[in-house]
């Protein structure tokens, strides 16, 4: 388990997808502009998310990314492990005899804590965020706006 800005970017971007899931795919350009992350960097993150079956891309104009599974089946732990594939285990990989047989029981304790943390984050789904009343309200307003712009201007010109 590891937690860096990379993971945060991935999680917030996925929240964005979950919120606007109903009106179709969201472009990386939108997320880039909205969240202040570079487009190319987002592309790299989404390549990993796609390989892990969390999102699917839609090419061409009007395309973008959408969730590959219902939002209540995607957990925060899923997202973080998808982009931070570095498992980064203890120094004495598996072989527990790192020092006089039993000295390094702290490694066991850490593994236990790490597992607790994973379980915690695995219990939090994207749906839990997207279904909040205040989120629904804002999302609906934005969706209308986006639809209007789809007809008049291009969407990203908003």
Partner DNA sequence: CTATTACCGACAGAACCACTCGGATTTTTT
Partner DNA sequence: AAAAAATCCGAGTGGTTCTGTCGGTAATAG
Binding footprint of a copy of itself on the chain (CB under 8 A)? 1-5, 8, 11-13, 15-16, 19, 33-37, 76, 88, 91-92, 98-100, 102-107, 109-110, 113, 116-117, 120-121, 124, 129, 134-135, 138, 141-142, 158
Nearest CA to 49 among 16, 10, 95?
10
Task: In whole angstroms, give the CA distance from residue 106 to residue 92.
Answer: 11
Taking CB under 7 A as the criterion, the residue among 54, 87, 154, 158 binding DNA is: 154
Residue 121 CB, shortest distance to DNA, in Å, is 17
Query: How far is 129 from 62, CA to CA, in rounded Å?
Result: 25
Query: 3-state class of 131 per DSSP?
Result: coil
Tokens 């201007």 belong to which residue? 153
> In the complex, which residues of this chain contact DNA (CB under 7 A)?
2, 4-6, 9, 25-29, 36-41, 43-44, 46-47, 50, 56-65, 84, 86, 154-156
């Amino acid at each position: 388990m590891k937690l860096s800005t990379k993971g945060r970017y991935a999680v917030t971007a996925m929240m964005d997808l979950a919120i606007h899931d109903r009106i179709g795919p969201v472009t990386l350009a939108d997320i880039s502009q909205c969240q202040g992350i570079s487009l190319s960097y987002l592309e790299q993150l989404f390549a990993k998310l796609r390989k892990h079956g969390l999102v699917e891309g839609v090419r061409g104009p009007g395309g973008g990314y959408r969730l590959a599974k219902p939002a209540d089946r995607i957990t925060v732990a899923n997202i973080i492990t998808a982009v931070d594939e570095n498992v980064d285990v203890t120094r004495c990989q598996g072989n527990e005899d790192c020092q006089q047989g039993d000295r390094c029981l702290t490694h066991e304790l850490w593994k236990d804590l790490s597992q607790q943390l994973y379980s915690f984050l695995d219990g939090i789904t994207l749906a839990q965020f997207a279904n909040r009343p205040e989120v629904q309200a804002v999302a609906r307003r934005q969706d209308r706006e986006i639809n209007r712009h789809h007809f008049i201007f291009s969407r990203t010109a908003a």
